[in-house]
Structure 1
């Protein structure tokens, strides 16, 4: 019976690359930039030829850093979470880190459990899409962190996400340009979620300032019939082209698209617009107008912000805290 293949060692990589063991260790750590380009290339080629993979857990135990980052998302089924995760993972690879992802399922107890698990793996930093605003489960963590999308009061951490005020302003400006004058704003309940609160507050402020008549509808997971009844009541007094529905996120857009179909309400004569681009929005007839979040850029900037805390670079990485959405106009806002 053949013996299992042995793993290549750091010493073997150094010998093949014609350099020292410490230089190879630097190449696989945060001090790679201190090596010359030619030396980096020799070490990379030697490691590839030998199939060498560094033991990151062992590095962490020796105090060299695990090169692991942890990411906690509030709902891994949310398309926004999946899309941002893609940008985070790409950036982690670019900076030489590996990523561990945990789904908290909007459960504070599970959030606390995952924090303990990530600490056991000695992650060097955390990217957190928090469950709520209290932040109690996050206060005891001494690991560098960045908040994704959702802010937490009284927690000193950078927040990377969409410019929510700009998104609402762009949505209302588009609906006004299209001739709609009455708006139904639809959102999931905003309690404990800073993003939903910020969008709702901005909507109420700007809708008043722009002279819209407006109403709000808070969705409940327990009552799937109420949104359709509210939509029917909202559109009944208005002539075609006068009223529109603005959805605060992808889940709200999906719920209202179902109601439009169920009630036989024509999109366009009654406007429908959503914050967050979902793949099916362009497939529905006549297509749903959305404000797309630059999710890859948000994910990359979250990592860049975290790397600035972890690595002392001569020139800090640049990143943006608030990102602008992209308006994608389709037939649902063509009265």
Structure 2
């Protein structure tokens, strides 16, 4: 029995001949210097490459020219809708700049996080977008000292000098509290995962506590693992049964908390609106549940693109003494029936 041979890969020289161009021009086209070529020549090279099925070997190019054209992205939980949406923005921005995206999912495991960081460094990535699960300060600082630009996505690490891109968490919580107070809710239950390992959770919880005091609202927080549905359901049941009867609402710190709280409210037979519900992060299903769930939507596409822009800016500047920037985006309120009494 003979083993079928693999189809031969087209070469850069064959693309050059088919396009009526020089080998140097084709190299520039695939090497991130397309702007040096005329639009007509770019079109001929693209068509020739498509016809011949030519794909450049990016790893070989990186070894030869010192640039891999790879951007690494470390994601704490790839199942999180926020992570997926931001990743799409990162990938779109990379594609437009002739870069390829290499994604590693840590499953919120600090050990996997360290292993993946070492793997990404071995691929000679030109920059890293990091949504940290643990506190890999030492590993990230080592990569920064090697000259690899870093952008921290949605989470800050105290010991690492890196660009940070994410939501303006304080303003988002203020927006939520103003809306709930304006709708007549006077007692609030804040639902979150444990905040210790994620700076946005810490920032949102802190602002919630400050905000209810400033607005003279009553409030408490449930900050427990959300896979313990019974614990959350008991907390919400106690909240619904509280004496006094002042209108109450749940404020959920992220999409996972919104889903867990919605399940608990449904199990308890609570009516949305009578009991308010507002979640940070817009999810596709939020418009489909009951009267609709009010959310604060993050501009995930813009956040992902900004992360790549910050990486490119840091790479081109090449100056470690330049202060790292903080790029914060504003959330948008999407009011629905869950906060309409």
| SS class of match (1:185) | strand
Q: Work out whether 1:331 is the aligned partner of 2:337.
A: yes
Give the Cα separation in 2 of the matches to 1:11 and 1:169: 60
What TM-score, normalized to structure 1? 0.92
- Residue equivalent to 1:50: 52
Q: Work out whether 1:258 is the aligned partner of 2:272.
A: no
- Residue equivalent to 1:271: 276
Q: 1:246: how far off?
A: 0.3
- Residue equivalent to 2:142: 140
Give the Cα separation in 2 of the matches to 1:65 and 1:137: 22
- The answer to whether the 8 A contact 1:111-1:137 is kept is no
Q: Work out whether 1:94 is the aligned partner of 2:96.
A: yes
- The answer to whether the 8 A contact 1:241-1:271 is kept is no
- The answer to whether the 8 A contact 1:241-1:268 is kept is no
Q: 1:114: how far off?
A: 0.7
Q: 1:63: how far off?
A: 2.4
- Residue equivalent to 2:321: none
Q: Work out whether 1:153 is the aligned partner of 2:158.
A: yes
Q: Work out whether 1:204 is the aligned partner of 2:206.
A: no
Gaps of 5+ in 2: 319-324
- Residue equivalent to 1:29: 31
Give the Cα separation in 1 of the matches to 2:134 and 2:109: 9
What TM-score, normalized to structure 2? 0.91
Among 108, 111, 120, the residue aligned to 1:109: 111
Q: 1:17 to 1:91 in 2, by over 3 A?
A: same
Among 322, 332, 335, the residue aligned to 2:328: 322
| SS class of match (1:119) | helix
- Residue equivalent to 1:169: 174
- The answer to whether the 8 A contact 2:151-2:163 is kept is yes
Q: 1:24 to 1:311 in 2, by over 3 A?
A: farther
Q: 1:302 to 1:179 in 2, by over 3 A?
A: same
Q: Work out whether 1:295 is the aligned partner of 2:297.
A: no
Q: 1:287 to 1:222 in 2, by over 3 A?
A: closer
- The answer to whether the 8 A contact 1:175-1:333 is kept is yes
- Residue equivalent to 1:66: 68
Give the Cα separation in 1 of the matches to 2:24 and 2:326: 35
Q: 1:39 to 1:240 in 2, by over 3 A?
A: farther
Q: Work out whether 1:18 is the aligned partner of 2:31.
A: no
Q: Aligned-pair RMSD on alpha carbons?
A: 2.1
| SS class of match (1:139) | helix
Give the Cα separation in 2 of the matches to 1:80 and 1:3: 43
- The answer to whether the 8 A contact 2:110-2:135 is kept is no
Give the Cα separation in 1 of the matches to 2:149 and 2:132: 15
| SS class of match (2:295) | strand
| SS class of match (1:44) | helix
Q: 1:310 to 1:42 in 2, by over 3 A?
A: farther
| SS class of match (2:188) | strand
How many residues were matched structurally?
Answer: 330
- Residue equivalent to 2:322: none
Q: Work out whether 1:85 is the aligned partner of 2:91.
A: no
Q: 1:3: how far off?
A: 5.9
Q: 1:10 to 1:278 in 2, by over 3 A?
A: same
